[in-house]
C-alpha cells in the first residue's frame, strides 16, 4: 500500500497543506449489533487517571505557528501554518515534525502558560520526519520518553496537540495501539517502525506526543489516512530518541552506509528466484566498491541477520542498521544460492 505524504499541520491555504494519505482500500463498514457498550467493563472502568495524566503532560506540549513561504512565478507568498511540539529539556529544546517547519521563514512557539517565543532550528532529519528547535527559556516542564518496544496492540494511549490551530489550549484524544512496526510510504521516502493508533490525529497535531498510561511519550504524531477513520501513525520513541540526541549534538544525523538496496522477501519473490528462504532482505542492487560489495554480497542474496539479530523485513533491517556507527564492523548472515553464509562488513558514512 502506497501512502502519499501525510502531514497533519493546519494551514489556511489549501494548496500549502501537506497532503494527507488517500486510500480507497478501506471501504468496509463495521456495525456493532446489540453491543451494549454502556455496560462494557472496558468503557465503565477507569483504566488509568487520564485527566491527571493530561494535566501533567500538557505542560510540556507547545503550539507551533509558522510562516510558510510559497514560491510563485513572479512573487513569493507567505502563509500561516500550525503544528505541535514537545519540550524535551528545561532550557528550551523542543522536538516536532520536519514537515511542520520545512520551508518556513519564521517559527513562533506558545507554551502552556501563554508565553510566546521565537524559535530557531537546531537540526532536521527528513528520513524520520523529525526536527529539533530551540527557544530561549529556562525552568520549562519536560516529559519523559518511554520504551516503545514494549508496546502491544490494544495498549491504551492518548494524544495531545494543537488540533486545527484551535484557540483555548491543546486538544486531547484517546484510543489504543492498533499496530506496531508499520512501514509508511510517503513521497519523501518510507518511514519505518511506525506506531499505528486509532486515537484521532488531526491537522495541527503533527509533532505532538503519543502518550502511554504512565504519562510517557512513546511516539511523535506524524500521519493520518484521509480515506479511513481511526488510522494514524506516530514515529516510535525508539526511533526518535537517538535522532533527537544527534540533532541536538551535531545538528544532523550521521547514519552508516551498507552500500546496497533491498526489499522484503515475499513468497512470490522466493518462488520466482528459488531462494530457499521465506523472509529476509532480498538484495536488488550493490554499490560498486561499497561496504556490501567489499563484503562479497551480491544481487539475489538474502540478508537474514545482522550481528545475530534477525532482519525479516526492511522495517527491522534499517532501524537496526542505523543503530550502528560509521566504521563499525557488523557480521551479516545471508543466504546465497540456497547456502547459508556469513560475512563481515565495515560500515561507511551515508552521504
Residues tagged active-site: 99, 129, 206
Q: Residues in the chain, how many?
A: 351
Closest among 116, 121, 114 to 137, alpha carbons compared: 116
Query: DSSP character for 20?
Result: P
Beta bridge partners of 260: 286
* R_g over Cα of the chain: 22
Three cell numbers at 326? 560509521
What sign has the CA pseudo-torsion 212, 312, 4, 227? negative
Answer for the pair 162, 172: CB distance below 8 angstroms, yes or no.
Answer: no
Cα separation, 46 vs 232, in Å, equals 24
Furthest C-alpha separation in the chain: 65
> What crossing angle do the helices spanning 237-250 and 314-322 adopt, rounded to 10°?
30
Cα separation, 146 vs 158, in Å, equals 14
Three cell numbers at 120? 530557531
Distances (CA, A) of 96 to 214, 228, 235, 333, 334: 21, 25, 11, 37, 38
Amino acid at each position: 500500500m502506497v501512502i502519499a505524504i501525510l502531514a497533519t499541520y493546519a494551514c489556511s491555504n489549501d494548496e500549502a497543506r501537506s497532503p494527507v494519505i488517500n486510500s480507497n482500500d478501506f471501504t468496509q463498514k463495521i456495525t456493532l449489533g446489540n453491543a451494549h457498550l454502556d455496560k462494557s467493563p472496558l468503557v465503565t472502568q477507569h483504566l488509568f487517571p487520564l485527566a491527571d495524566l493530561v494535566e501533567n503532560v500538557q505542560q510540556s506540549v507547545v503550539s507551533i505557528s509558522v510562516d510558510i513561504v510559497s514560491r510563485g512565478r513572479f512573487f513569493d507568498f507567505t502563509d500561516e501554518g500550525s503544528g505541535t511540539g514537545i519540550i524535551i529539556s528545561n532550557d528550551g529544546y523542543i522536538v516536532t515534525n520536519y514537515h511542520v517547519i520545512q520551508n518556513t521563514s519564521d517559527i513562533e512557539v506558545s507554551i502552556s502558560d501563554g508565553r510566546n517565543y521565537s524559535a530557531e532550528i537546531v537540526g532536521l532529519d527528513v528520513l524520520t520526519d523529525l526536527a529539533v528547535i530551540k527557544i530561549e527559556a529556562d525552568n520549562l516542564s519536560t516529559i519523559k520518553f518511554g520504551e516503545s518496544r514494549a508496546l502491544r496492540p490494544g495498549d491504551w494511549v492518548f494524544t495531545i496537540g494543537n488540533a486545527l490551530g484551535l484557540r483555548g489550549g491543546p486538544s486531547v484524544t484517546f484510543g489504543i495501539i492498533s499496530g506496531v512496526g508499520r512501514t509508511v510510504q510517503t513521497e519523501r521516502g518510507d518511514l519505518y517502525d511506525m506506531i499505528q493508533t486509532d486515537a484521532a490525529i488531526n491537522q495541527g497535531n503533527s509533532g505532538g506526543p503519543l502518550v502511554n498510561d504512565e504519562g510517557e511519550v512513546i511516539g511523535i504524531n506524524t500521519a493520518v489516512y484521509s480515506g479511513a477513520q481511526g488510522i494514524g501513525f506516530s514515529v516510535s520513541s525508539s526511533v526518535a530518541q537517538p535522532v533527537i540526541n544527534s540533532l541536538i549534538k551535531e545538528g544532523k544525523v550521521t547514519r552508516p552506509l551498507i552500500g546496497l538496496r533491498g526489499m522484503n522477501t515475499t513468497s512470490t519473490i522466493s518462488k520466482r528466484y528459488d531462494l530457499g528462504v521465506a523472509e529476509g532482505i532480498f538484495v536488488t542492487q550493490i554499490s560498486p566498491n561499497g561496504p556490501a560489495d567489499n563484503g562479497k554480497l551480491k544481487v539475489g542474496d538474502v540478508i537474514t541477520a545482522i550481528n545475530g539479530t534477525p532482519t525479516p523485513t526492511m522495517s527491522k533491517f534499517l532501524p537496526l542498521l542505523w543503530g550502528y556507527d560509521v566504521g563499525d564492523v557488523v557480521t551479516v548472515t545471508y543466504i546465497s544460492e540456497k547456502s547459508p553464509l556469513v560475512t563481515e562488513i565495515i560500515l561507511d558514512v551515508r552521504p
